[in-house]
Amino acid sequence: QVQLVESGGGLVQPGGSLRLSCAASGSIFSIDAMGWYRQAPGKERELVASITSDGRTRYADSVKGRFTVSRDNAKKTVYLQMNSLKPEDTAVYYCNGEISRYSNNVYYLYWGQGTQVTVSS
């Protein structure tokens, strides 16, 4: 069994910061890319940022320069530092990870349960 658990969401004023964490646990042999997605009410889920196992990153245009994705491979954890938050960043944020449970190089995509981020004054 594999679990991804997000934490760090909450209510913040415009211009503020939050740091999300997502820890993977369970029967894990290897983790490849990990990422953050978000879904606002009435909208489709969209990519926010992703990071490969060797640290290459990718960001949505709407968050470039404000958000930073990082990971700690030893802790099986991915982070999302969010600065200069805007009301339009309000959404449920989900993490995912490409995870192999065995040494057979077969990876499956796992998702966390989501954490709410609300940016409002």
Could you report the per-residue pLDDT of 4-59, keeping only the tens digit for each? 999 999 999 999 999 999 999 999 999 999 999 999 999 999 999 999 999 999 99
Q: φ, ψ for residue 62 (rounded to 5)?
A: -70, -15
Residue 103 — very low, low, confident or very high, per pLDDT cuts 50/70/90? confident
Q: Is the CB of residue 42 less than 8 Å from the CB of residue 115? A: no
Cα 67 to Cα 72, 88, 100: the distances in Å are 17, 14, 27
Q: Is the CB of residue 117 less than 8 Å from the CB of residue 12? A: yes
Dist. CA 87–CA 98, nearest whole Å: 30
Average pLDDT, the chain: 97
